[in-house]
């Protein structure tokens, strides 16, 4: 069982199939425990403790006494307790389970070793084992907002300062990738007295409902292989439309794309057809977003899918598209391609912590409907991915999953609110470094050029989502290696005392 409509964010950081770093997570992968790097050998749990923190349910209401247990991890292996200026590094959890593996791996651990930092990771409310409420009813999800999550982090920092007897000399540096990358920047912005600086990786700063640029970047990235690859994807998507027009073509699609339910039965339901096109297009989205990112999940590359898309001996373009689909299904261990709208909605409406969608899909989709939008649409037949999944398709899901209150109007207001609250692409916070990769579609909603001297950026040519966060390996691109050095220099500067 899996969920396919929810959109991609996630660095596979996480430790879990995860996401924060996971995309296939949203459209059909099995959820296994896994780590941030493809080098999985040295990991062990020595020095890493899993602990629980008593947290307020509602930071906006001092009369609400409800508390819950939030999970966090500590690694004090590098911490130089005797140095009263030793820094504290905080990895911010995101829209998936947080796992202990990050406490031993990833670029930030190398920085921690170098600077003698005490390391924490706080799991995000409503994800993993950090469960503030008995279930995931829409009523309870009202407590799932980025602002509540930031307040969780603030109270956590205050408590750890006390527990470890830290002073203002022990500077906190926040780290995060993808949505937690946004949170890292916003944490420094909202709580500058608690967090001295932040490294914000692949973090979208602009909330936007219709994120049509996402697939533009996917197209550009496929174009780095060849123009022919892009043209053939476009032709293949158009051929899908032609096949849908008659019975024999429909049967052929059902068969070629290994659909869970025959498209012949769905032909009169445009929502199902939207789901089908969105599922096929998101095969490419996932491949581009995670292309060679060093995570253990980025297996299929742009080169591999384009090799197929330009290979005439496989047949017409739509047949090649079916081969790509099969490659992705095999990688994700999915037996058939699910696309039927009502089936997905039914799954997404399950409010139990035991349901498959509780691994993050129900929660994250709620956050998109209530705070961010970020819908990866295609609504123009002249575009490579066609016109079958416009923004209305995603808004409809908000209403059908969470109720009538969630609609185009409420989301307009939510987006305006989010951008007003955080400052969108015009932050004026000091001590935040914004890092993005050029082939990662999320860079289009992030800061890739400094607005002024206070907002430094690193834009890495040729890398994918969160690439700089994973465990370094020898064959990393030179520009990625250089970016890691720059980030380290930036941290060293933050930690310099005058």
Ligand X SMILES: *[C@@H]1O[C@H](CO)[C@@H](O)[C@H](O)[C@H]1NC(C)=O
Tell me which residues touch ligand X (CB under 6 A).
307, 311, 313-314, 350, 352, 354-355, 461-462
Strand blocks (E) in 3-61: 48-56
Out of 200, 440, 443, 476, the active site residue is: 440
State the Cα–Cα distance between residues 375 and 392, nearest whole angstrom: 10
* Shorter beta-carbon distance to ligand X: residue 264 or 307: 307
CB atoms near residue 305 (< 10 Å): 25
Least separation in angstroms between residue 41's CB and ligand X is: 30
Out of 115, 297, 436, 465, the active site residue is: 465
Least separation in angstroms between residue 285's CB and ligand X is: 21
Q: Is residue 272 among the annotated active site residues?
A: no
Kindly state the tokens that stand for 166. Answer: 């830290």
* Shorter beta-carbon distance to ligand X: residue 344 or 355: 355
Q: Is residue 465 among the annotated active site residues?
A: yes
Kindly state the tokens that stand for 239. Answer: 């051929």
Least separation in angstroms between residue 389's CB and ligand X is: 26
Least separation in angstroms between residue 482's CB and ligand X is: 12
Which residues lie closer than 8 Å to 267 by C-beta, 6 or more apart? Answer: 244, 250, 273
State the Cα–Cα distance between residues 178 and 14, nearest whole angstrom: 11
Identify which of 188, 184, 62, 42 has the alpha carbon closest to the alpha carbon of residue 122. Answer: 184
Q: Is residue 193 among the annotated active site residues?
A: no
The residue sitting closest to ligand X, measured at its beta carbon, is 355
Least separation in angstroms between residue 456's CB and ligand X is: 18
* Shorter beta-carbon distance to ligand X: residue 212 or 463: 463
* Shorter beta-carbon distance to ligand X: residue 335 or 346: 346
5 within 8 A of 278, measured Cβ to Cβ: yes
Task: Classify burial at 167, counting beta carbons within 10 Å of its beta carbon; exposed 0-12, middle 13-18, buried 19 or more.
Answer: exposed
479 within 8 A of 467, measured Cβ to Cβ: no
Task: Classify burial at 148, counting beta carbons within 10 Å of its beta carbon; exposed 0-12, middle 13-18, buried 19 or more.
Answer: buried
Identify which of 134, 151, 195 has the alpha carbon closest to the alpha carbon of residue 60. Answer: 151
State the Cα–Cα distance between residues 438 and 441, nearest whole angstrom: 8
Least separation in angstroms between residue 335's CB and ligand X is: 18
67 within 8 A of 54, measured Cβ to Cβ: yes
State the Cα–Cα distance between residues 92 and 336, nearest whole angstrom: 35
* Shorter beta-carbon distance to ligand X: residue 314 or 425: 314
Out of 146, 178, 274, 295, the active site residue is: 178
* Shorter beta-carbon distance to ligand X: residue 304 or 399: 304
User: Rounded to 5 degrees, what are φ and ψ at 331?
Assistant: -60, -40
* Active-site annotation, residues: 178, 440, 465
């Amino acid at each position: 069982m899996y969920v396919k409509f929810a959109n991609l964010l996630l660095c596979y950081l996480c430790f879990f199939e995860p996401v924060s770093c996971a995309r296939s997570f949203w459209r059909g992968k099995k959820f296994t425990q896994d780590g941030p790097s493809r080098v999985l050998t040295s990991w062990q749990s020595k020095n890493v403790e899993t602990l629980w923190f008593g947290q307020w349910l509602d930071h906006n209401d001092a009369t609400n006494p409800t508390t819950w247990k939030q999970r966090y991890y500590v690694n004090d292996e590098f911490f130089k307790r005797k140095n009263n200026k030793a820094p504290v590094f905080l990895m911010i959890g995101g829209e998936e389970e947080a796992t202990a593996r990050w406490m031993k791996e990833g670029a930030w651990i190398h920085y921690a070793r170098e600077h003698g930092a005490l390391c924490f990771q706080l799991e995000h409310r409503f994800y993993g084992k950090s469960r503030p409420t008995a279930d995931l009813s829409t009523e309870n999800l009202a407590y799932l907002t980025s602002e509540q999550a930031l307040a969780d982090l603030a109270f956590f920092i205050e408590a750890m300062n006390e527990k470890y007897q830290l002073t203002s000399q022990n500077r906190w540096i926040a780290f995060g990738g993808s949505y937690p990358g946004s949170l890292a920047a916003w944490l420094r912005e909202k709580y500058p007295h608690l967090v001295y600086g932040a490294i914000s990786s692949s973090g979208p700063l602009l909330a936007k409902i219709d994120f049509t640029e996402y697939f533009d970047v996917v197209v550009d990235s496929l174009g780095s292989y060849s123009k022919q690859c892009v043209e053939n994807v476009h032709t293949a998507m158009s051929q899908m439309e032609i096949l849908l027009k008659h019975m024999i073509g429909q049967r052929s699609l059902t068969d070629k794309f290994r659909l869970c339910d025959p498209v012949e039965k769905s032909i009169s339901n445009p929502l199902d057809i939207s789901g089908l096109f969105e599922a096929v297009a998101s095969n490419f989205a996932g491949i581009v977003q995670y292309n060679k990112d060093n995570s253990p999940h980025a297996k299929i590359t742009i080169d591999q899918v384009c090799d197929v898309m330009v290979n005439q001996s496989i047949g017409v373009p739509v047949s090649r598209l079916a081969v790509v689909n099969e490659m992705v299904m095999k990688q994700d261990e999915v037996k058939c391609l699910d696309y039927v709208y009502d089936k997905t909605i039914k799954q997404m409406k399950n409010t139990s912590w035991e349901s498959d969608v509780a691994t993050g899909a129900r929660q994250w989709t709620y956050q998109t409907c209530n705070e961010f939008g970020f819908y990866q649409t295609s609504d123009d037949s002249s575009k490579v991915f066609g016109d079958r999944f416009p923004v209305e398709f995603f808004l409809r899901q908000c209403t059908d999953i969470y109720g009538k209150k969630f609609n185009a109007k409420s989301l307009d207001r939510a987006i305006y609110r989010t951008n007003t609250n955080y400052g969108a692409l015009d932050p004026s916070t000091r001590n935040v470094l914004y890092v993005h990769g050029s082939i990662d579609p999320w860079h289009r909603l992030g800061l890739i050029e400094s607005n002024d001297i206070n907002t430094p950026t690193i834009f890495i040519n040729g890398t994918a989502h969160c690439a700089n966060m994973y465990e370094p390996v020898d064959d990393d691109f030179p520009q990625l290696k250089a970016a890691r050095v720059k980030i380290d220099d930036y941290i060293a500067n933050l930690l310099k005392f005058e």
